[in-house]
Amino acid sequence: MTNHSVTLGEQIEKLVREHIAACRVSAREAVDRAFASADARSKPAALTKTSRIGRRRASAEVAALSERLYEAVCARPGEMMTVLGPVVGACPRELHRPMAVLKDAGRVRSVGQRHMTRYFPTLGDAAPAA
């Protein structure tokens, strides 16, 4: 019986080695196919549209935009930036710096937070100059 169990063990080991070899061959073929199809499909990387490189706006441009924004705030007190933007002709993101200039100068005050912020002219500047 010992001779029979030894030959059985050898047969099992032989089957396991053959199975491992077959798995390696099939895995290698799968990898080769994957890389071959990737090479055939790959194209040079196309340039994607990147975000616009921010340019520094001139102070005169910011000042002009601030004045237009101030006139819009006086005409429509209590409105949000999303309403004031189309009136001025700019998106709300572009109006962030001009609004900060107006707030720092004390010409505009804000009420609320984040997207619910409403803007009002300050009392000293609300009356039109006579």
| Position 130 confidence tier, pLDDT thresholds 50, 70, 90 | very low
Report which of 121, 127, 59, 62 is spatially closest to residue 95, judged by C-alpha positions.
62
Strands laid side by side in the 108-111 sheet = 79-80, 118-121, 108-111
**Three-state secondary-structure class, residue 18:** helix
Residue 129: the pLDDT is 46
Phi-psi region of 106 (alpha: psi -120 to 50; beta: other; left: phi over 0): left
Tens-place pLDDT, residues 56-109: 888 899 999 999 999 999 999 999 999 999 999 999 899 999 999 999 999 999
Q: Where are the alpha helices (DSSP H) in the chain?
A: 2-41, 59-75, 81-88, 96-105, 123-126
